[in-house]
C-alpha cells in the first residue's frame, strides 16, 4: 500500500466520523498518523468538504393493480376459399379439404366448427385449414354426389360463435368407373 492511499483513506474516514472535529497529522516510523487528538509535533489538516449524497429513503409504493387486459380485436373477415362457390369437389369417400381466410388469425383458445348441409360436423378444428374425413361426411352430409352447402364458424371457449362465413354452395362428385372396352 502506498502512503497516499493510506492518507486518502484516513482522511476520508476522519471526515466521515465527524465533519465538525479537527484532524491532526503526526509522523511515526511507519509514516503519517491521523487522529482527532493533538499530539506533540502534530499539525492540523485542512479537509475539503466531503462529497455527500443525500440518501433519502424512497417510500415504498403500494403495488398497483395490473391494468385490465384489453379485449382482443374482434374478427373482421372470415371467408371460405376452397371449395369455391359453385365449385367441384372430387371425392369417392367424402374426405376433402377446406381452406378459409380469417382476419385477424385464429386466436389461442378459439376453435372452428363446420356445418355441412346444415348439419354440425362433430369434429372441432384448431385451424382454418381443415380436412374433413369420410366419417365426418357420413355423419353429416345428405348424399355423396350432388349439391352441398358449407359454412364455418369461429367459436370461443364458451362454444358461442363469434363470426361465421357466408354459406358456400359446392358440388361433390365421385370418380366414375369405366365399364367397357374401347374399340
Q: What are the pLDDT digits (tens) for 68-99?
A: 667 788 999 999 999 999 999 999 898 999 99
Does the pLDDT value for residue 12 go beyond 90?
A: no
Q: Average pLDDT, whole number, for the chain?
A: 82
Q: What is the pLDDT of residue 179?
A: 53
In angstroms, what CA-CA distances link 34 with 1, 43, 108, 170?
16, 10, 72, 101
pLDDT of residue 46: 77
Output the CA torsion sign for 44, 49, 51, 54.
positive
Residue 64 pLDDT exceeds 90: no
pLDDT at 13 (0 to 100): 56
Q: Of 57, 53, 58, 33, nearest to 43 (Cα)?
A: 33
Provide the whole-model pTM.
Answer: 0.58
Distance, CA of 87 to CA of 128 (rounded, Å): 19
Give the position of cell 376452397: 82
Q: What is the mean pLDDT of residues 23-35?
A: 82
pLDDT at 44: 84
Least confident range of 27-31, 108-112, 123-127, 170-174: 27-31
What dihedral do alpha carbons 132, 133, 139, 143 form, nearest 10°? 80
Lookup: cell for 153: 364458424
How far apart CA 33 and CA 24 sit, in angstroms, is 8
Q: What is the pLDDT of residues 137-161, one digit of tens each?
A: 888 888 888 999 999 999 998 889 9
Confidence label for 183 from pLDDT (cuts 50, 70 and 90): very low
Side-chain half-sphere CA neighbours of 42 within 13 A: 17
List of domains in the chain: 3-45 (no CATH), 77-173 (2.60.40.10)
Amino acid at each position: 500500500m502506498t502512503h497516499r492511499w493510506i492518507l486518502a483513506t484516513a482522511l476520508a474516514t476522519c471526515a466521515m466520523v465527524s465533519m465538525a472535529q479537527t484532524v491532526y497529522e503526526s509522523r511515526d516510523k511507519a509514516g503519517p498518523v491521523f487522529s482527532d487528538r493533538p499530539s506533540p509535533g502534530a499539525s492540523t489538516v485542512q479537509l475539503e468538504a466531503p462529497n455527500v449524497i443525500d440518501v433519502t429513503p424512497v417510500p415504498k409504493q403500494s403495488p398497483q393493480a395490473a391494468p385490465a387486459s384489453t379485449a382482443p380485436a374482434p374478427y373482421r373477415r372470415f371467408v371460405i376459399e376452397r371449395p369455391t362457390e359453385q365449385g367441384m369437389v372430387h371425392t369417392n369417400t367424402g374426405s376433402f379439404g377446406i381452406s378459409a381466410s380469417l382476419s385477424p388469425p385464429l386466436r389461442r383458445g378459439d376453435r372452428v366448427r363446420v356445418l355441412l348441409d346444415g348439419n354440425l360436423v362433430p369434429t372441432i378444428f384448431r385451424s382454418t385449414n381443415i380436412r374433413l374425413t369420410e366419417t365426418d361426411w357420413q355423419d353429416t352430409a345428405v348424399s355423396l354426389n350432388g349439391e352441398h352447402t358449407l359454412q364455418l364458424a369461429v367459436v370461443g371457449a364458451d362454444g358461442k360463435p363469434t363470426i361465421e362465413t357466408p354459406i358456400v354452395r359446392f358440388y361433390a362428385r365421385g370418380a366414375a368407373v369405366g365399364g367397357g372396352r374401347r374399340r
